[in-house]
Structure 1
Amino acid sequence: MTRILALALALALPVSAFASSDAALTTQRVTEITNKLTAEGYEVRKIDMEDGMIEAYVLKNGQRYELYLDAALNVVSTKIDD
């Protein structure tokens, strides 16, 4: 019975809960990124991972941007999104 309960619980958890890589975007990590970028004046629309970098789609002063962040949440590249 315990094994069935453990299996049912494991299947109910999101896949990201099992990710051990720093590249995984957990809910906590997304919240941390959103808070940081919001404090810098951005309105965060979407956050993804691309090629090992965090990619954030944001708005600031009516302009859309794609920001690329490293693991320490430093913006390493900014691209104007047309």
Structure 2
Amino acid sequence: MIDQIIDQNGNEVFEKKSVFISSMDASDTREFNRIKIFGNEIWIFSHGKNVDNPKPIKRYDFCGNFLGTKIWEDGDYYE
């Protein structure tokens, strides 16, 4: 799966590639990545079946520079 963010001029700002290879035995550790635009930042969520212990949100600016991480809070993913 390839998640991309394209600016209004058609230029690729950010790209995240994920490869999922799974069998019936290995499905328990599958992770999902999603991207959200929040203000002037790009947030990348990585989560799996363990919703009680999510990985931190990775934050980037619109130039693709890493800004740091953020701990999940209620509503971050859904709003």
Larger strand proportion of the pair = 2
Larger helix proportion of the pair = 1
Instruction: Report the TM-score when normalising by structure 1.
Output: 0.42
Highest Rg: 1 or 2? 1
Choose between structure 1 and 2 for higher RCO, CA contacts under 8 A separated by at least 6 residues: 2
